[in-house]
Homo-oligomer: A and B are copies of this chain.
Amino acid sequence: MENSKSEAKSMKVTIYDIAKKAGVSIATVSKVINNTGSMRESTRQRVLEIMQQLNYQPSVMASALMGKKTETIGLLVPDISNPLFSEMARTIEDRAHDQGMSVIMCSTDDNPEKEKKYVELLQRKQVDGFIVGASFHDKSLLQELIDNNIPLVMLTQDEPSLDVSKVTVDDFKGGYEATSHLLFNGHQNIAIIAEYAYSSNLRINGYRAAHEVYGAVSKEEYIYRTTASILNGKKYFDKLFSRQDVELPTAIFACNDQLAIGAIQAAKEKGLQIPNDVSIVGFDDTILATTTVPGLTTIAQPIKTMGEKIVDVLIKEIKAGKSLKERFLYNPELIVRGTTNVFNEGTVDKQ
């Protein structure tokens, strides 16, 4: 009635089972698991074999208890169902798995209570490090992690008050390029629908800078702020086009693809032709930018590159045991599709 065969019963097989069957001590088994210490090659082989036979999987829990890593990272983003973040998440997940780590995702909804809850949860789960994406409101929570020397890196959020490693796109340049493209093509009245995020400040600065360079005036009345969603894109487009006090804009620079799509939809509903009556530029270059007709002209972030880099940076810091405070700034790229009329330049990829 004993399970003397290699057919492990249902009970989880532990380091003790391996040790007994191999006729060695658990210390020895531990050494072969971790590839530490030295021993007779034949011993190592025997243990290895038995581990195979019994399909032994060392418990991450137990080793984490002993101060080893959990090989898990926490990913905090505003909303994983937002295409920008789901695309980022996919890259992050792949890169992490390549290095033997898994990722727990948490959508904060820009809600400080959820932020707190998730940070604490992830700490209880003893994640090896955090990736914080796009926006995080309760800075003090993050500062506390930093103070406790818990690896933390920021993606797509160049919040100056936090002194950690960051991977971002050059938001200023992105804003500048989007606006230049529009100015270059003859638009004088360009509105901007931005987000309540640090990145949007930078993009707005780029927008203003472009105006200066082109000798145009950027009107404060054209600058709106909201949160990312198609609905808000619609709403703010309508607001913009129902004002009496300023000239109607002929172009919109939306600070992300969702807002841009909302603007497209609102324009269509108003019977405006795109790009002739109104041109629209988005930001991010998510899948959404390719599914509209006409395709959305947008500023591309190198999502894949950034996702991979942020994982690499985090893992490096986890190994180093301290923040390296590196900053990586990537170039945005203007992708011209059908929502702007083009008399020139730019990467043309019309669909």
Q: Is A59 an interface residue (CB 8 A)?
A: yes
Per-residue B-contact encoding for A256-290, CB less than 8 Å = 1, 0 else: 00000100110011000000000000000001101
Minimum Cβ distance to chain B for residue A77 (Å): 10
Q: When the two chains form their complex, are residues B104 and A287 in contact, meaning their CB atoms are under 8 A apart? A: no
A148 CB-CB contact with B under 8 Å: yes
Among candidates B86, B102, B106, B291, residue contacting A106 with C-beta atoms closer than 8 Å: B102
Distance, CA A230 to CA B351, complexed state (A): 13
Q: Which residues of B contact A86 (CB under 8 A)?
A: 80-81, 83, 86, 89
- Whole-angstrom distance between the Cβ of A280 and the nearest chain B Cβ: 13
What is the total number of residues of chain A having a CB less than 8 Å from a CB of chain B?
A: 54
List residues of A (144-189) whose CB comes within 8 Å of B's CBs. 147-149
Query: In the assembly, how many copies of this chain are there?
Result: 2
Within 8 A of B (CB), among A120-161: 120-126, 147-149
Determine whether A312 belongs to the interface, using a CB cutoff of 8 Å to chain B: no
Q: Which residues of B contact A120 (CB under 8 A)?
A: 57
Q: Determine chain A's interface SS by DSSP, over half rule.
A: helix
Q: Report yes or no: A90 in contact with B79, Cβ–Cβ below 8 A.
A: yes
Among A149, A269, A291, A351, find the residue whose CB has the most chain B CB atoms closer than 10 A. A291
Cβ-defined contact, A293 with B293, below 8 A: yes
Q: How far is the CA of A269 from the CA of B351 in the complex (A)?
A: 8
Known pairs A59-B65, A148-B10; A105 contacts B125 (CB<8 A): no
The answer to whether A58 has its CB under 8 Å from any CB of chain B is yes
Say yes or no: A58-B90 contact (C-beta < 8 A), given A103-B105, A230-B291: no
When the two chains form their complex, are residues B107 and A94 in contact, meaning their CB atoms are under 8 A apart? yes
Taken residue by residue from 90 to 122, chain A's Cβ proximity to chain B (1 for < 8 Å, 0 otherwise) reads as 100110010000111111000000000110111
Whether, in the assembled complex, A320 has its beta carbon less than 8 Å from a beta carbon of chain B, the answer is no
Give 13 CB contacts A-B under 8 Å: A10-B149, A57-B120, A61-B125, A70-B125, A71-B125, A80-B89, A80-B90, A81-B83, A81-B87, A90-B107, A93-B105, A102-B125, A230-B290
Closest 8 CB pairs of A and B: A86-B86, A81-B90, A61-B64, A57-B124, A81-B86, A81-B87, A61-B65, A60-B124
B-binding residues in A (CB < 8 A): 10, 57-62, 64-65, 70-72, 79-81, 83, 86-87, 89-90, 93-94, 97, 102-107, 117-118, 120-126, 147-149, 230, 261, 264-265, 268-269, 287-288, 290-293, 351
